[in-house]
Chains A and B, each alone.
Chain A
Amino acid sequence: MLQKMYDWIDERVDITPLWRDIADHEVPEHVNPAHHFSAFVYCFGGLTFFVTVIQILSGMFLTMYYVPDIENAWRSVYYLQTQVAHGQIVRGMHHWGASVVIVMLFLHTLRVFFQGAYKKPRELNWMVGVLIFFVMLALGLTGYLLPWDNKAYFATVVTLQIAEGIPVIGEMAKTLLNGDPNIVGAQTLARFFAIHVFFLPAALFVLMAVHFIMIRKQGISGPL
């Protein structure tokens, strides 16, 4: 049945070459943990991607209940955690995944750094990777405010003070992030939500696509 459906589509649009390009490629011996166990360090990039997928999925589901409004944000989070089936698990996945993704990203960065895998011709991909790292940190920062509890609120107050510390444009940067020159409130939450669920993920998808296309183009760096 599945094979027939696949064949039907394949006959018309010829997806097998596409699929081959994405999934069917050789894994060199030096990156295969089955050959050298120490090659597990090559898994961190893939694990980062895996956790990112969990973050995207759990985030999508959380927005079914969450509202980015100062009156209701905390209450909606409380409701989804206490009243909705598996709410604790889904929010837990997003909460812990947010930390795990940073850890994995960092381990991946360490591996690339200490193996010197960033060297020519892969400098450009290192730069894209650094951008992905920044986007991830920004996702963590903006997501932190969304539950709108005391911890979230005061963490954001500190964030805004850091932004204010930038020479010359500090004041402007703070207002831009905050949505208001003084009040950390309604506009701040709406902004952080928009940045967290639309702008940063869009940037992340583009950067990840570039990252992966470059890996495929340049291949995995050789053994040490």
Chain B
Amino acid sequence: MCRGGVNNVREKAQVSRRQFLNYTLTGVGGFMAAGMLAPMVRFAIDPVLQASGTEDMHAVVEVSEITTEPQRFDWTIKQVDAWYTSDVIHSAWIYKNEKDEIIALSPICKHLGCAVSWASNEEYPNEFYCPCHGGRYYKNGLNVPNTPPNAALDLFQKEVKDGTLYLGAQCQTL
């Protein structure tokens, strides 16, 4: 940027006093506004940035009680919701399949979230049935085609320790 010559001095004075003050004030004002807003914004978005803890495993039932017929078992979880702690009841439909594996299915219908139950409709004695809109699932949790649900029931994460079944978070399956 070699301009040189007599114009040099005038060229340098491109920023007028008014402009300079404008920039300075905008800068200082912006800095103050940012300093004010930064903690507040961080405060507001905190829930998004909280590390999501992995869900604990909870003792649900003695393995000896589990049959090949799905049974409903409930267990209680201490839920900490910010400043509010409460007991929340979770349920699962649990059975052993032909290979002697334990299956723990979520009772929440994948259509609109009602609670399904095993063989509750006489017409479908070997299926999970949802009373709300007649959603049906096979014993393994797969949804029966042409009924409202379009996905299989969720499975619980499971673990067997000392003859007791522990269940954790629900996850999508199949």
Chain A residues at the B interface, C-beta cutoff of 8 Å:
54, 57-58, 61, 64-65, 72, 75-76, 78-80, 83-87, 89-90, 93
Contact = CB atoms under 8 A, between A and B. Distances in A.
A48 to B, nearest CB: 16
Q: Is the interface of A mostly helix, strand, loop or mixed?
A: helix
B82 interface: yes
Nearest to A61: B40
A57 B43 contact: no
A51 to B, nearest CB: 11
Contacts of B42: 85-86
A88 B71 CA distance: 49
Contacts of B13: none
Contacts of A65: 82
A138 to B, nearest CB: 24
**The 5 residue pairs across chains A and B that have the minimum distance between CB atoms:** A75-B83, A86-B39, A79-B83, A89-B39, A61-B40
A57 B84 contact: no
A193 to B, nearest CB: 16
A57 B44 contact: no
B49 interface: yes
Given A58-B40, A87-B43, 13 more contacts: A57-B37, A57-B40, A61-B43, A75-B83, A78-B83, A80-B43, A83-B82, A85-B49, A86-B39, A86-B40, A86-B43, A87-B46, A90-B40
A90 B82 CA distance: 18
Nearest to A62: B43
27 contacts: A54-B36, A57-B37, A57-B40, A61-B44, A64-B43, A72-B83, A72-B84, A75-B83, A75-B84, A76-B83, A79-B82, A80-B43, A83-B82, A84-B43, A85-B42, A85-B46, A86-B39, A86-B40, A86-B42, A86-B43, A86-B46, A87-B43, A87-B46, A90-B40, A90-B43, A93-B36, A93-B40
Interface of B: 36-37, 39-40, 42-44, 46, 49, 82-84
A160 to B, nearest CB: 27
A154 B39 CA distance: 31
A75 B82 CA distance: 9
Nearest to B36: A54
A77 to B, nearest CB: 9
Contacts of B46: 84-87
B151 to A, nearest CB: 34
A183 B49 CA distance: 41
B84 A85 contact: no
A72 B40 CA distance: 22
A149 to B, nearest CB: 14
